[in-house]
Amino acid sequence: MGEFELIERVFARRAAAVPPRAGIALGIGDDCALLAAPPPETQLAVSTDMLVEGRHFFPEVAPNALGHKALAVNLSDLAAMGAEPLAFTLALALPPERARDADWLDAFADGLMALAQAYRCALIGGDTTAGPLAISITVFGYLPRGQALRRDGARAGDDLWVSGALGDARLALEALRNRIVLSPAQQAQARQRLERPTPRIALGQALRGVASSCIDLSDGLAGDLGHVLHASDVGARINADVVASLLQTPAPVTAQQRYAYTLAGGDDYELIFTAPPNRRAQVETAARQAATPVTRIGGITAMPGLALHDAAGRALAGSFAGFDHFA
Ligand code: ADP
Ligand code: MG
């Protein structure tokens, strides 16, 4: 399959099968896609995330899951701002043996486009080149002007909340690396979280006007929360036992592993957000509307830094900094 046949047969055809939506004047096929100017009082949210083989995924990962995850991690950034998905572009570097493998390409594109359909996010263009397998997606979304959920809005006294489950993706990674032994059922449950994360799009939108700050969790709770604390010039106190209880897979892990996976595991793609205590009912309503569970794990403090305590209120030692690609 040549480059143009590949683009047409694998991507353009699937993109054309997604019902067109207002806002996209021209999709795949010309030198540029054309987006209509955003409606009045609307801002365009834009984000790019890249996945590189060997760094973000194993070479043998199922191609359908890879397509899903490549878009899911980008949609997660829109979710973290409270934006509504509109469109995305796909830049793909493919080793020659992948470019020749129609089954692999079809499965990758199916995984990608199933998620695109589910969130009405149109594939409007991209680039395809030979090279080591790498997938770079740029997403575009809409936000009512001034209502983005930013990192710099946390205030001392705010509650600290997290959506969904934590640590299962890291648990799957440890099992894949043979550092921990799981039953087939446990392995399947944890791998689902590693390979097919759910972007919390509905929750992000429901939290507009409710949350004071928000970030999505890609590199681990402690590290990603650190970005919010830094941007907002505040600190936080976290009940580490509540966080540890958010590991979903019933796995034979030690208390220390449970803390490490949930506080610093990475690849969770949940939202961590803050809101004043007088908005607890509104947070619960947003969570119900979005059909996404949320848990209050602590609060924001004027004193900088991240303080961890256990269920009995005892301070926990140990550092749970997030994953840094260059560290
Ligand atoms: P150019 O030479 O101008 O970069 P290309 O030949 O790379 O154009 O792409 C032709 C068309 O196909 C463009 O509209 C481009 O956006 C689209 N395209 C290329 N690769 C992809 C891809 N992986 N997914 C979706 N659209 C793509
Ligand atoms: Mg090109």
Q: Which amino acid, residue 57?
A: F
The number of the ligand nearest the C-alpha atom of 14 reads 1
> Residue whose CA is closest, atom 7 of ligand 1?
127
pLDDT of residue 321 exceeding 70, the answer is: no
pLDDT in tens, 24-33: 999 999 999 9
The number of the ligand nearest the C-alpha atom of 7 reads 1
Distance of CA 227 to CAs 69, 200, 277, Å?
A: 23, 19, 22
Q: Residue 33: name the closest of 15, 10, 52 by CA.
A: 15
Q: How many CB atoms lie within 10 A of CB 121?
A: 27
Residue ranges covered by each domain of the chain: 3-144, 151-309
Q: What is the DSSP string of 242-281?
A: HHHTT--S-----HHHHHHHHHH------EEEEE-GGGHH
pLDDT in tens, 225-253: 999 999 999 999 999 999 999 999 999 99
Helices (H), 135-254: 168-176, 184-195, 201-206, 221-232, 240-244
Q: How would you classify the pairing of strands 122-130 and 84-94?
A: parallel
**Gap from CA of 124 to ligand 1 centroid (Å):** 9
> Residue whose CA is closest, atom 14 of ligand 1?
29
Homologous superfamily, domain 3-144: PurM-like, N-terminal domain (3.30.1330.10)
pLDDT in tens, 127-152: 999 999 999 999 999 999 999 999 99
pLDDT of residue 42 exceeding 80, the answer is: yes
Average pLDDT estimate for 50-77: 96
Gyration radius from the chain CA atoms: 20
Average pLDDT estimate for 315-326: 64
**Domain range 151-309, CATH architecture:** Alpha-Beta Complex (3.90)
- The confidence score (pLDDT) of residue 77 equals 98
Q: Residue 207: name the closest of 267, 138, 279 by CA.
A: 279
pTM: 0.95
**Pair 27, 33: CB distance under 8 Å:** yes
pLDDT of residue 195 exceeding 90, the answer is: yes
**How far, in Å, CA of 35 to CA of 24, rounded?**
5
> Residue whose CA is closest, atom 2 of ligand 1?
31
Q: How would you classify the pairing of strands 159-163 and 213-216?
A: unpaired
pLDDT in tens, 248-296: 999 999 999 999 999 999 999 999 999 999 999 999 999 999 999 999 9
pLDDT in tens, 70-102: 999 999 999 999 999 999 999 999 999 999 999
User: Tokens 């694998």 label which residue?
Assistant: 10
Which ligand 1 atom minimizes the distance to the CA of 4? 6
The reply to whether ligand 1 has any atom less than 6 angstroms from the CB of 7 is yes
Provide the percentage of residues in the chain whose pLDDT is more than 70. 97
**Gap from CA of 51 to ligand 1 centroid (Å):** 19
Q: Cα 234 from chain centroid?
A: 24
| Strand segments (E) across 32-114 | 34-35, 42-52, 84-94
The number of the ligand nearest the C-alpha atom of 89 reads 1
- The confidence score (pLDDT) of residue 216 equals 98
The reply to whether ligand 1 has any atom less than 6 angstroms from the CB of 108 is no
Distance of CA 246 to CAs 170, 196, 239, 295, Å?
A: 13, 18, 12, 9
State the chain's mean pLDDT as an integer: 95
> Residue whose CA is closest, atom 22 of ligand 1?
126
Which residues are CB-neighbours of 249 under 8 A, at least 6 positions away? Answer: 168, 171, 182, 186, 189, 190, 193
**How far, in Å, CA of 191 to CA of 197, rounded?**
10
The reply to whether ligand 1 has any atom less than 6 angstroms from the CB of 90 is yes
- The confidence score (pLDDT) of residue 148 equals 98
- The confidence score (pLDDT) of residue 133 equals 97
pLDDT bucket at 10, cuts 50 / 70 / 90: very high
The reply to whether ligand 1 has any atom less than 6 angstroms from the CB of 161 is no
Average pLDDT estimate for 173-190: 96
Distance of CA 215 to CAs 115, 149, 210, Å?
A: 21, 8, 14
pLDDT of residue 318 exceeding 90, the answer is: no
